[in-house]
Structure 1
Amino acid sequence: MTGLVPVLTGVGVAYITWLLWRWGGDWLESRRLATKRRDKKERCRLALEKLQRRVEASDLTEAKCHEILQLSLSELVKKLQTSQLTATDTLHAYQRQALEVHKKTNCLIEPILEAEALAQACDAGQRPGPLCGVPVSLKDCYGLKGYDCTIGLARWIDRPFDEDCDIVQVLKKQGAVPFVKTNIPQTMYSVETTNPIFGPTVNPHDTTRSVGGSSGGEGALIAGGGSILGFGSDIGGSLRIPATMCGVCTLKPVSQRLSDRGCHPILSGQKAVPVSYGPLARDVDSLAIAMKALTVDSTLYEVATALPPVPFRSEVYEDKKRLRIGFFLNNGVFRAVPCMERAVLEARDALESAGHQLVMYDIGTLGEETFDLWTRHMGADGGKELMREMKNDAVDVAMGMVKTLSHLNAYLKWVLYFIIRMIKEYKMKVCILHLRCSSVHEYMNLVAETERTQIRVMKEWRSLGLDAVICPAFGFPALLFGSIVEAISAASYTAMYNALNFTAGSVPVTTVTEEDLRKMTDYGTPDPSHSIAKKNMPGSVGLPVNVQVATLPWREEVCLRVMKDLQEALTQQSA
């Protein structure tokens, strides 16, 4: 027995030594990452200050700047192509405005230094194309040669891309001038745009409120007039949620309409509910111009050889035939607040006045089915990739619950999940994200279930003769900053079309009124998520309210047409 004492002592000492070595290594790594975060933030701050000085030294007058900023994208393109404006002046105008919006919202990460040379080349006639001289902003997930794509993570600092991603290559070939990169949530896996490197981005309409996520920097910049055309990504509403919070337009194409090659992946290998990449702008026509420029000729398909060649069909977008459009107000997961429901009804009336047929669409349990599928796909690996990405890094408060759930024992996750299901408390149904599939067989069954649901819904739409469906763009307008992560089930309206891989867009319809707030008295259920929404609605009068438009996959032109008809009908009503 006495002989075991030295052995046990040795094992204990070895184990303690190993723990100290591991903890010490993690501590040193966390300090190294903290230094990288601090240095990166400072470099970007200095780059923006340098741009500010250069813009202030520009001979662009305030009157000229104002003239440029007031133009729509179609008007700007025409003036650039007829040499009524120079690309350089246009760039300087948007750089100036972008910096002003950044001061208010913290929407920028860094300027793209090559923008000046690209604009000068446009003025010299060396870069012809449908977007010649148009400044474009990019979410910080688009790979750009010589630039980091941190997605809010210190481990990706000082790891610049070797080449531009496919979309940026095509944009440049079509004459566009990428000029700034915009802020994102840490890992892009949040509906609140904030990260430990660059901090939070707030709403230009009310700086106490959220811009949503994950393309929140783009939403804020475009809503503030600092960009005429931006590009983001969407895996659960990341284009449509910021568009809704900020009152701008966006399109989430079917996943393979535009290339994802060269963009920073998150949840790499998760392809059953794929990321979509798409544009944001102030009006629908600008989205159509962007999609046409990216897909109308062979440029994209020469770069992205794996994509099916599906050029933009202008004749479908410009068609005037009557469409049959469904609508619904409640998806069965989260009841949208009164202003969001009112927006759908106003959109219904406006589209009817434009000559379309609107019919009530009973979605049954589809909202719950698709939200369940979406959350299971997002957490199929039990959160392992997210934890690997954030290891030893500072974790933003918006990612705190994700980290906690990912570290829970699998059995505790299952217990928590079933308790949540029993009490029907959807706020925490996000726990499903981190349950993980227990085997490859289980994951294959999940993929098969998703495909069956997609096929069933497509057949249902065709049997009902639906060309499109309109519904709430989200559960509520912009909440106070930090609140949205507590009501994640409101994202079930957008996640539905990611799970189905349908085309979907978001378009402004109205603003919050005093009457909407009075109707909040009768709003709510025992679900605490509704309490969060109810608590945040006071003070929201005047905030933008969007409607979501969805179509079958590969029907981007139809989706844009419905959005444009809606926008034009609303404009005529307000004239």
Structure 2
Amino acid sequence: MIVYCNYVSTSFAYAIIFEMPELPRRRRILDYPEDDLLLLSAIEAAELIRREEITSESLIQAYILRITHINRFLNAVVIQNFDDAIEEGRQVDSYIQHIDKDSDEYKSLPHKKPFLGVPFTLKDSMSVEGLVCTVGIPSRRNTVAEEDAEVVQRMRHAGAIVLAVTNVPEAIMWCESANTIYGRTNNPYNIRRTCGGSSGGEGALIAGAGSVIGLGSDVGGSIRIPAAFNGVFGLKPTSGIVSLKGSFPVVEGEDYTSLMWCIGPLCRYAKDLKPMLQVLAGDKAESLLHLHNPVNFRNIRIFYMEEINSLFVEPLHEDVRRALRKAVSYFEKKYDITSYRLDLPLVHDALSYWYSSISDSTAPPFTQYDVNCYLEVVKWIFGKSDHTLPAIISGLMCYLPHGAFDQQILESHRDQLRREIIDLLGSDGILLFPSWATVAPYHNQLILTSGNLAYTGLWNALTLPAIQIPMGVNSNGLPLAVQIISAPNMDRLLIAAASDLEEGFGGWTPTRSL
């Protein structure tokens, strides 16, 4: 079992260690996105394109201008597809201009091509034909994808247009997005803070209104952590619903780790979650998820748990606790229902469950990219390594011995907890839970506080769907969040909860220059 050393006991110590190095940098917050096109949801934009009230080209150009403006502060976009996107947008506009508006083909567009003409972005771990896909690894800096990942194909078939690729940690195995190829990505609400990872570039770009919808992947919180730190929506769907084909790292076979990996949407508006999941899930959206079934929250049972008590996890910050309680209170008051507070003993070993699960002997290690991690440690000490320290450490973790007896006990407890939660939630229950112990930390602070991964990694270890929902900002202007979990295939409850809380608390909060 890996031991996460918690050397820091107070927020004052954090300020000294991590805030002081950032003081020379201005506490910059991105300016408000003034162009109204940037404030449309993806579904709204597609409808306006179909009705010829806006053009796809103008929408794409607006996002290109926004990216050009904000990326010098964020460093979120690492691969541009601007020229091809503009050309595809023009083709969409010509198609709409000439199609018979009374035809069945036109009338079927909202169903068959719900994102026609709308740009989307994705993290640098999914293949896009003709574009470089590095996964943040130096040896892949010139690796050009020969075909689209299946999720990219599905988005294209739905009419969406690839606009850009966003930054990730090296080998997408860390919760801060930085690598030696493209550097580090910043948080749009305060560039001194981290945007999270591994879908950190995606979360930062969407929050900064440089994209409206995007694709992330998640094995321990890689969608939900950036969504929480950047104040957007992020959904980890039910395991096995969305294809991993063409994404990295390559997960082969049906080991437990392959069940933990998920691809899902990040977006600014809750109304885009359902159509995105429908596109990504394909036929499974109805056969397994039944996304069209209505959700009546008066019949939904609400459970919540406030904190993980562990030596390796920070105490829950009061801002996070208040956000969780506000969400619980909102449902209680709006629907005149009673929520149930839980303290499940097995939950407090969340970090052990995640690590024992991700350390499956058939899991894809960092070393699949032909990196000698022992040699890289020595080179890093002397400043000669091309790799980041977190990536090297994650690679070394693959070599750590695991006691078979301890592993069996952890897996037994993990599976017992999974059964308990599924039985508890059933088809009409949701569990509210913190997304992280604090708001977005300072850069590099995660080196000492990565144990907070327990809040998101637990649900990967239990292979349960989970969503991160923005809950406004705190007194320092940093995003607040709440995480909600359901039983498998009950993703529609999570999407309904996201829409409800967006109505109650405003959802995404646009950045404003101070």
Q: Secondary structure at the match of 1:480?
A: coil
Which residue in 2 is equivalent to 1:559?
A: 494
Cα distance, 1:479 vs structure 2 = 0.9
**Cα offsets for 1:187-245 (capped at 9, x unmatched):** 11000110011110011110111001000000110110000101101110001100111
Residues 367 and 492 of structure 1 are in contact (CA less than 8 Å); yes or no, is this contact kept in structure 2? no
Task: Count residues with an aligned counterpart.
Answer: 444
Determine if the alignment matches structure 1 residue 199 to structure 2 residue 175.
Answer: no
Determine if the alignment matches structure 1 residue 324 to structure 2 residue 306.
Answer: no
Determine if the alignment matches structure 1 residue 169 to structure 2 residue 191.
Answer: no
Equivalences for residues 125-164 of structure 1 within 5 A: 125=95, 128=109, 129-164=113-148
Equivalent residue letter for 1:254: T
Cα distance, 1:362 vs structure 2 = 2.0
Cα distance, 1:262 vs structure 2 = 1.2
Equivalences for residues 213-252 of structure 1 within 5 A: 213-252=197-236
In structure 1, which of residues 281, 285, 310 is the aligned counterpart of residue 271 of structure 2?
Answer: 285
- Measure, in 1, the Cα distance between the counterparts of 2:48 and 2:127: 30
Residues 135 and 172 of structure 2 are in contact (CA less than 8 Å); yes or no, is this contact kept in structure 1? yes
- Measure, in 2, the Cα distance between the counterparts of 1:503 and 1:287: 14
**Cα offsets for 1:329-385 (capped at 9, x unmatched):** 112233211110010111111112220634233232232333212111223449982
Equivalent residue letter for 1:310: L
Q: Which moved more, 1:383-392 or 1:452-461?
A: 383-392
Q: Alpha carbons of 1:308 and 1:83: their partners in 2 closer, same or farther (altered >3 Å)?
A: closer
In structure 2, which of residues 400, 412, 419 is the aligned counterpart of residue 435 of structure 1?
Answer: 400
- In the alignment, structure 1 segments of 5+ residues that lack a partner are 1-63, 407-432, 514-540
Residues 258 and 278 of structure 1 are in contact (CA less than 8 Å); yes or no, is this contact kept in structure 2? yes
Equivalent residue letter for 1:327: Y
- Measure, in 2, the Cα distance between the counterparts of 1:571 and 1:149: 35
- Measure, in 2, the Cα distance between the counterparts of 1:444 and 1:106: 43
Q: Secondary structure at the match of 1:369?
A: helix
Q: Alpha carbons of 1:107 and 1:504: their partners in 2 closer, same or farther (altered >3 Å)?
A: same
Determine if the alignment matches structure 1 residue 314 to structure 2 residue 292.
Answer: yes
- Please list every run of at least 4 consecutive aligned residues from structure 1 whose deviation after the TM superposition is greater than 6 angstroms: 441-446
Q: Alpha carbons of 1:104 and 1:269: their partners in 2 closer, same or farther (altered >3 Å)?
A: farther
Which residue in 2 is equivalent to 1:394?
A: 386
Residues 327 and 358 of structure 1 are in contact (CA less than 8 Å); yes or no, is this contact kept in structure 2? no
- In the alignment, structure 2 segments of 5+ residues that lack a partner are 1-32, 97-105, 377-384, 510-514
In structure 2, which of residues 73, 76, 82 is the aligned counterpart of residue 107 of structure 1?
Answer: 76
Cα distance, 1:252 vs structure 2 = 0.8
Equivalent residue letter for 2:219: I
Cα distance, 1:83 vs structure 2 = 0.9
Equivalences for residues 453-532 of structure 1 within 5 A: 453-462=417-426, 467-513=429-475
Equivalences for residues 108-123 of structure 1 within 5 A: 108-112=77-81, 113-123=83-93
Determine if the alignment matches structure 1 residue 124 to structure 2 residue 86.
Answer: no
Q: Alpha carbons of 1:478 and 1:442: their partners in 2 closer, same or farther (altered >3 Å)?
A: closer
Equivalent residue letter for 2:291: R
- Measure, in 2, the Cα distance between the counterparts of 1:294 and 1:396: 32
Equivalent residue letter for 1:118: E
Residues 472 and 505 of structure 2 are in contact (CA less than 8 Å); yes or no, is this contact kept in structure 1? no
- Measure, in 2, the Cα distance between the counterparts of 1:117 and 1:542: 38
Which residue in 1 is equivalent to 2:7?
A: none
Q: Which moved more, 1:219-228 or 1:392-401?
A: 392-401
Equivalent residue letter for 1:461: L
Equivalent residue letter for 1:146: G
Which residue in 1 is equivalent to 2:164?
A: 180
Residues 193 and 214 of structure 1 are in contact (CA less than 8 Å); yes or no, is this contact kept in structure 2? yes
- Measure, in 1, the Cα distance between the counterparts of 2:233 and 2:469: 5
Equivalences for residues 378-393 of structure 1 within 5 A: 378-381=358-361, 385-389=365-369, 390-391=371-372
Q: Which has the larger radius of gyration?
A: 1
Determine if the alignment matches structure 1 residue 68 to structure 2 residue 37.
Answer: yes
Q: Secondary structure at the match of 1:114?
A: helix
Q: Which moved more, 1:549-558 or 1:152-161?
A: 152-161
- Measure, in 2, the Cα distance between the counterparts of 1:383 and 1:249: 28
Q: Which moved more, 1:480-489 or 1:67-76?
A: 67-76
Q: Which has the higher helix share?
A: 1
- Measure, in 2, the Cα distance between the counterparts of 1:109 and 1:224: 15
Equivalent residue letter for 2:255: K
Residues 472 and 506 of structure 2 are in contact (CA less than 8 Å); yes or no, is this contact kept in structure 1? no
RMSD: 2.9
Equivalent residue letter for 2:391: M
Cα distance, 1:70 vs structure 2 = 2.2
Residues 65 and 93 of structure 1 are in contact (CA less than 8 Å); yes or no, is this contact kept in structure 2? no
Which residue in 2 is equivalent to 1:371?
A: 351
Cα distance, 1:291 vs structure 2 = 1.7
Residues 509 and 546 of structure 1 are in contact (CA less than 8 Å); yes or no, is this contact kept in structure 2? yes
In structure 1, which of residues 342, 363, 370 is the aligned counterpart of residue 322 of structure 2?
Answer: 342
Residues 326 and 358 of structure 1 are in contact (CA less than 8 Å); yes or no, is this contact kept in structure 2? no
- Measure, in 2, the Cα distance between the counterparts of 1:336 and 1:270: 35
Q: Secondary structure at the match of 1:545?
A: strand
Residues 289 and 491 of structure 2 are in contact (CA less than 8 Å); yes or no, is this contact kept in structure 1? no
- Measure, in 1, the Cα distance between the counterparts of 2:189 and 2:408: 44
Q: Secondary structure at the match of 1:354?
A: helix
In structure 2, which of residues 61, 68, 71 is the aligned counterpart of residue 92 of structure 1?
Answer: 61
- Measure, in 1, the Cα distance between the counterparts of 2:177 and 2:485: 25
Residues 450 and 499 of structure 1 are in contact (CA less than 8 Å); yes or no, is this contact kept in structure 2? yes
Tell me the TM-score normalised to structure 2 length: 0.79
Cα distance, 1:471 vs structure 2 = 1.5
Q: Secondary structure at the match of 1:148?
A: coil
Q: Secondary structure at the match of 1:222?
A: helix
In structure 1, which of residues 189, 211, 226 is the aligned counterpart of residue 195 of structure 2?
Answer: 211
- Measure, in 1, the Cα distance between the counterparts of 2:335 and 2:224: 26
- Measure, in 2, the Cα distance between the counterparts of 1:484 and 1:247: 18
Q: Secondary structure at the match of 2:131?
A: coil
